[in-house]
């Protein structure tokens, strides 16, 4: 099948391409010298996210440099708790902080501030007006479980214990947090679509920390609800689900959420995924980001194995998680040439 003018979007609609379209999670970021230069002029990370001109520039930088088939909005999953009323800031070298942490406070104590999302819609409109015709524009949000783990703990954590304890100990309170995230996420993604994105991805970075029963309740059910509501509003917009760490629960996620494509993290055997997932479901992934850092024969072998794993399935080449800051530019250029057959 010949590539469409927007090969990534065509793949998400189920059309397999001769060579898989390519983009990289966190492709706009610290491994790029142009990003680092801009970041120095803008102060903090959050200030950059909420500056439409600067955030649009950052979104476009990897497209200018590499010509990826997809451009993903530069933002952060934690804009949702910020818009729900938590304070949000980033500690240098330590990551995000949110207050009050909902392990100690109630959701009802927060004063919602949905206007905080308006600059992001302005960023989307700027990028949509500037992208090359062949580039698919991707929006995104964090999935409810992952976002809730930050809201409950007030920061990231190794095992998401605070959220898991709350989910077991006060299910109603935790369900209320999940429901609030679902409601605002649908509004947020619909707003991104209405301002110009052509597909969206749901990032569930901490999906792997849950037991099968908890996975059904806190990963599958809320993502399925987002998909259902968003499809009612924008039925033609593809939705990619990325439940990192789901492993053997991937088939259930694919069957029960209704997503149009599924992202695979680097721990998933691509041959196994091709066997167990619904036959025509598009997949995305799943190069180990550290193989991209390493380069050389290890990188080539990893690329080739993924390319060979999906002989009949629509496939988008990507990493298994975000690109890391010390990734050499030359290795990214090599990846693009090898995936595209150059």
**Predicted confidence (pLDDT) per residue in 154-170, tens digit:** 999 989 999 999 999 99
Q: Which residue, 260, 210, 262, is CA-closest to 238? A: 260
Name the residue ranges covered by the structural domains of the chain. Answer: 7-340
pLDDT at position 4 is 52
Active-site residue, 265 included = no
Report the C-alpha gap between 86 and 181 in whole angstroms: 12
Q: What's the first-to-final CA gap in the chain, in angstroms?
A: 19
Active-site residue, 26 included = yes
Polymer length in residues for the chain? 342
Active-site residue, 76 included = yes
- Could you please state the CATH topology (level 3) that the domain comprising 7-340 is classified under: TIM Barrel (3.20.20)
The set of residues, in sequence order, having a beta carbon less than 8 Å from that of 278 and lying 6+ positions away, is 254, 255
Report the C-alpha gap between 176 and 178 in whole angstroms: 5
Whole-prediction pTM value? 0.97
Report the C-alpha gap between 122 and 139 in whole angstroms: 13
Is residue 314 packed enough to be buried (19+ CB in 10 Å), middle (13-18) or exposed (0-12)?
buried
Active-site residue, 340 included = no
**Predicted confidence (pLDDT) per residue in 237-283, tens digit:** 999 999 999 999 999 999 999 999 999 999 999 999 999 999 999 99
Number of H helices, E strands in the chain: 16, 9
- From the candidates 26, 97, 164, 313, give the one annotated as an active-site residue: 26
Report the C-alpha gap between 329 and 342 in whole angstroms: 17
- From the candidates 30, 229, 251, 338, give the one annotated as an active-site residue: 30
**Average pLDDT score, the chain:** 96
- From the candidates 31, 50, 150, 188, give the one annotated as an active-site residue: 150
**Three-class SS state of 89:** strand
- From the candidates 39, 126, 164, 313, give the one annotated as an active-site residue: 39
Q: Helices 118-128 and 52-66 meet at what angle, rounded to 10? A: 40
Active-site residue, 251 included = no
**Predicted confidence (pLDDT) per residue in 185-212, tens digit:** 999 999 999 999 999 999 999 999 999 9
């Amino acid at each position: 099948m010949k590539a469409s003018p927007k090969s990534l979007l065509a793949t998400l609609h189920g059309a397999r391409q001769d060579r898989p379209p390519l983009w990289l999670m966190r492709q706009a970021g610290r491994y790029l010298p142009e990003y680092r230069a801009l970041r120095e002029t803008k102060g903090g990370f959050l200030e950059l996210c909420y500056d439409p001109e600067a955030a649009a520039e950052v979104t476009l930088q990897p497209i200018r440099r590499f010509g990826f088939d997809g451009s993903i909005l530069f933002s952060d999953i934690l804009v949702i708790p910020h818009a729900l009323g938590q304070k949000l800031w980033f500690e240098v070298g330590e990551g995000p902080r949110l207050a009050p942490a909902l392990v100690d406070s109630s959701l009802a104590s927060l004063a919602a501030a949905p206007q905080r999302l308006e600059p992001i819609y302005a960023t989307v409109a700027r990028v949509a007006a500037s992208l090359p015709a062949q580039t698919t524009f991707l929006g995104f949000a964090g999935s409810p479980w992952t976002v809730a783990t930050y809201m409950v703990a007030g920061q990231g954590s190794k095992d998401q214990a605070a959220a898991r304890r709350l989910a077991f100990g006060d299910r109603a309170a935790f369900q209320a947090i999940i429901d609030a995230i679902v409601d605002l996420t649908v509004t947020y993604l619909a707003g991104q679509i209405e301002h110009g994105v052509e597909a969206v991805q749901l990032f569930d970075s901490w999906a792997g920390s849950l037991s099968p029963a908890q996975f059904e309740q806190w990963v599958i059910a809320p993502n399925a609800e987002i998909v259902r509501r968003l499809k009612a509003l924008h039925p033609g917009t593809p939705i990619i689900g990325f439940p990192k760490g789901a492993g053997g629960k991937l088939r259930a996620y694919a069957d029960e959420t209704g997503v149009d494509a599924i992202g695979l993290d680097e721990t998933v055997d691509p041959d196994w995924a091709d066997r167990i997932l619904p036959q025509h479901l598009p997949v995305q992934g799943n190069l180990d980001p550290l193989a991209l850092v390493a380069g050389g024969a290890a990188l080539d072998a990893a690329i080739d194995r993924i390319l060979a794993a999906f002989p009949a399935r629509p496939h988008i080449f990507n990493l298994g998680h975000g690109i890391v800051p010390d990734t050499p530019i030359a290795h990214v250029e090599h990846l693009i040439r090898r995936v595209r057959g150059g």
